[in-house]
Structure 1
């Protein structure tokens, strides 16, 4: 019986039904490279489903039968795609499977920042009543700039448009962009946006794209939202921009190093609203991503 290794502790029952006939091996929620190399040597899987951690060349070399690496979700930056291509191993992603979940998280973070939800909640719990002194930001008619117009970016754009926001977007690879999104260059995103929201994959070309230079081009008081990849943001530059008032607030679901390290300066910054990279973690998305990963790898194996 052929084996599939899952870099996680479980998989949706609907996905397991599709994979009936394969031996499933689970690496747990925090598999190290050494753990994965040992599992690959022991089981020689034909496929790996990637939920947590990285997939490296060493793991691929430990599994000579490996034909496909299927991402449980959309972001494939944790997979060494160059090594996979060199070994004839296909890398596939469950594109769009968590689009609704991540877009909703982006909306939640944007609203939390604009309406000071976390700060006001905390003050209310401590007995304060700030009605006479606090003014929140009204988002209707404001401009939101999206970097990345894939399934998640376009879904978020639809919600922002429904709120009466002006939506501009940058994505050199996007096709069939709906007419309520005005496609612009990156400098226009920085210059015109009241809210900047990141929805692109992490590549060597865009790593640290939201740096001091980009933030300096933005409107003073801009809101930054990132539910994509932490590596897109220069965290030191963002913190400095928040402390200087150039950035009013930030809503972040992803970070350069995850989990967030103890004592990280973001933890002491009230104007940064954070969640632990759970934008795509809903019951529905869990099923959709598992089924998507299963179907993708089965399609590859059928032609292998």
Structure 2
């Protein structure tokens, strides 16, 4: 009798996670599966669980797998899963919340520092033989204000880091409770008005899509730094481009984008004022293991009921 299947929407999973799933047949969708690929694999293998790393899982995939009981995210963001469709079908959606918090918070800090200190630009100039000591001035972060939108595991970890730099931390999250004393709760209007830097750490929803757009960016301090290690859809990319070009935004450090992967010809490419990374904030060797273990344990917990 064949073992029940678990579909992984990727080409691999941490060995430690695979060890937990030894009683199941593991089916991999490949390095960059499409939604159609996932539907076809669901139809062929009828998995009892899907562990989502890449691509989207929608109603068609759920309908193609009548034995499906749980969709487990390899990470914390579940916006690539049609949660409404899952709820209607009685399929549980779970996430490995906090498993990559350290990794993403460190990436946000790296982008913030790179924006303030012009690290990539100075490195490029040095390699080209320039010595800009007499003309370059960096931005000192100590004593400045940073506004954090989203105070979950990642946002709070990042808050601790920037507090250690001597920054004044404002935070907006309608669901956060018992905040540490170094985070001052603030509404969005206060964050736009007072922040020297803004960092996004919230999930993407229908209500906050393009949270940072032409209107909100115009209400920010001139020369604000924008950091996004959350979801690209939180930012109106055309509005951000215009704000960087006008100087309203000093620098933007981005690890996520509206359409991924970014393709050649994207307006952010070769554009001064942007420091870009390919959505790798949560991609470290440690986070890979932690997210795999979290996703596997979450799936098994639902399957055991």
TM-score computed with the length of structure 2 as normaliser: 0.99
Which shows bigger deviation, 219-228 or 26-35? 26-35
Q: Give secondary structure in 2 for the equivalent of 1:268.
A: coil
Residue of structure 1 in register with 2:268 after alignment: 266
Determine the structure 1 residue equivalent to 2:119. 117
SS at 2:156's partner residue?
A: helix
Q: Secondary structure at the match of 1:149?
A: coil
Give the unaligned 5+ runs of structure 1.
none
Please give the alpha-carbon distance, in whole angstroms, between the structure 2 residues aligned to 1:31 and 1:115. 38
Cα separation, 1, equivalents of 2:271 and 2:174: 34
Query: What secondary structure sits across from 2:81 in the alignment?
Result: coil
- 2:21 — aligned with what? 19
Aligned residue pairs, count: 303
Q: Could you give the per-residue CA deviations for residues 93-144 of structure 1, whole angstroms, max 9, x where no partner exists?
A: 0000000000000000000000000111111111111111110000001101
Tell me what 1:48 maps to.
50
Q: Deviations over 1:67-91 (max 9, x none)?
A: 0000000000000000000000000
RMSD value, Cα: 0.5
Give 1:11 shift. Answer: 0.4
1:12-55 residue CA offsets vs partner (Å, 9 max, x unmatched): 01101111110000001211122111111111000000000000
The answer to whether structure 1 residue 249 and structure 2 residue 251 are counterparts is yes
Runs of 4+ off more than 2 Å: none
Unaligned ranges ≥5, structure 2: none
What is the correspondence of 1:24-173 to structure 2 with a 5 Å cutoff?
24-173=26-175
User: 1:271: how far off?
Assistant: 1.1
Paired residues for 1:203-242 under 5 Å = 203-242=205-244
TM-score where L is the length of structure 1 = 0.99
Give yes or no for contact 1:119–1:270 (8 Å, CA) kept in 2.
no
